[in-house]
Amino acid sequence: MTGRTITDRDALERQLAAIRERGYATNHGESENGVGSIGVAVRNPAGEPRAALSVALPLERWSEAAEEQAAFVLKSAAAALGAHL
Protein backbone atom coordinates (compact mmCIF):
# COMPACT_ATOMS: atom_id res chain seq x y z
CA MET A 1 0.00 0.00 0.00
CA THR A 2 1.04 3.56 -0.65
CA GLY A 3 -0.40 6.94 0.23
CA ARG A 4 -2.37 6.76 -3.03
CA THR A 5 -3.98 3.38 -2.30
CA ILE A 6 -7.78 3.54 -2.30
CA THR A 7 -8.91 2.45 1.15
CA ASP A 8 -12.38 4.00 1.31
CA ARG A 9 -15.23 1.68 0.21
CA ASP A 10 -17.26 4.45 -1.44
CA ALA A 11 -14.20 5.71 -3.33
CA LEU A 12 -13.45 2.15 -4.46
CA GLU A 13 -17.01 1.65 -5.70
CA ARG A 14 -16.83 4.92 -7.65
CA GLN A 15 -13.53 3.82 -9.17
CA LEU A 16 -14.99 0.43 -10.15
CA ALA A 17 -17.95 2.14 -11.83
CA ALA A 18 -15.54 4.33 -13.83
CA ILE A 19 -13.53 1.25 -14.84
CA ARG A 20 -16.65 -0.50 -16.11
CA GLU A 21 -17.65 2.57 -18.08
CA ARG A 22 -14.32 3.13 -19.86
CA GLY A 23 -13.39 -0.55 -20.21
CA TYR A 24 -10.02 -0.45 -18.49
CA ALA A 25 -8.45 0.07 -15.08
CA THR A 26 -5.63 2.38 -14.08
CA ASN A 27 -3.26 2.42 -11.17
CA HIS A 28 -1.46 5.68 -10.43
CA GLY A 29 1.08 4.64 -7.80
CA GLU A 30 -1.51 2.83 -5.69
CA SER A 31 0.51 -0.36 -5.30
CA GLU A 32 4.05 0.96 -5.74
CA ASN A 33 5.25 4.55 -5.52
CA GLY A 34 6.22 6.00 -8.86
CA VAL A 35 4.70 3.19 -10.95
CA GLY A 36 1.45 3.24 -12.86
CA SER A 37 -0.38 0.63 -14.88
CA ILE A 38 -3.29 0.13 -17.22
CA GLY A 39 -5.16 -3.16 -17.39
CA VAL A 40 -8.01 -4.77 -19.29
CA ALA A 41 -9.97 -7.98 -18.89
CA VAL A 42 -9.77 -10.67 -21.57
CA ARG A 43 -13.27 -12.06 -22.00
CA ASN A 44 -14.28 -15.26 -23.75
CA PRO A 45 -16.98 -15.18 -26.46
CA ALA A 46 -19.65 -15.54 -23.72
CA GLY A 47 -18.36 -12.32 -22.13
CA GLU A 48 -16.83 -14.01 -19.10
CA PRO A 49 -13.48 -12.66 -17.87
CA ARG A 50 -10.80 -15.33 -18.26
CA ALA A 51 -7.49 -13.43 -18.19
CA ALA A 52 -6.05 -9.93 -18.14
CA LEU A 53 -3.53 -7.84 -20.01
CA SER A 54 -1.67 -4.91 -18.51
CA VAL A 55 1.20 -2.54 -19.06
CA ALA A 56 3.20 -0.70 -16.38
CA LEU A 57 5.20 2.48 -16.70
CA PRO A 58 6.91 5.06 -14.51
CA LEU A 59 4.47 7.78 -13.50
CA GLU A 60 6.92 10.39 -14.79
CA ARG A 61 6.19 9.08 -18.31
CA TRP A 62 2.41 8.99 -17.78
CA SER A 63 0.25 11.31 -19.83
CA GLU A 64 -3.36 11.31 -20.92
CA ALA A 65 -2.25 10.53 -24.47
CA ALA A 66 -0.09 7.60 -23.31
CA GLU A 67 -3.01 6.25 -21.25
CA GLU A 68 -5.43 6.49 -24.17
CA GLN A 69 -3.00 4.86 -26.59
CA ALA A 70 -2.13 2.02 -24.22
CA ALA A 71 -5.79 1.43 -23.38
CA PHE A 72 -6.69 1.28 -27.08
CA VAL A 73 -3.93 -1.25 -27.83
CA LEU A 74 -4.73 -3.36 -24.76
CA LYS A 75 -8.48 -3.39 -25.45
CA SER A 76 -7.86 -4.38 -29.08
CA ALA A 77 -5.46 -7.16 -28.09
CA ALA A 78 -7.83 -8.40 -25.38
CA ALA A 79 -10.72 -8.58 -27.86
CA ALA A 80 -8.60 -10.50 -30.38
CA LEU A 81 -7.31 -12.90 -27.76
CA GLY A 82 -10.72 -13.38 -26.19
CA ALA A 83 -12.24 -14.38 -29.51
CA HIS A 84 -9.98 -17.45 -29.45
CA LEU A 85 -10.86 -18.61 -25.93
Q: What are phi and psi of 72, to 5 degrees?
A: -60, -50
Helix/strand/coil (H/E/C) assignment for every residue in the chain: CCCCCCCCHHHHHHHHHHHHHHCCEEEECCCCCCEEEEEEEEECCCCCEEEEEEEEEEHHHCCHHHHHHHHHHHHHHHHHHHCCC
Which is nearest to 23 in space by CA: 41, 6, 10?
Answer: 41
Give the pTM. 0.87
pLDDT in tens, the chain (85 residues): 899 999 999 999 999 999 999 999 999 999 999 999 999 999 999 999 999 999 999 999 999 999 999 999 999 999 999 999 8
**Class of domain 9-82 as given by CATH:** alpha beta
State the maximum Cα–Cα separation within the chain, in Å, rounded to a whole number. 40
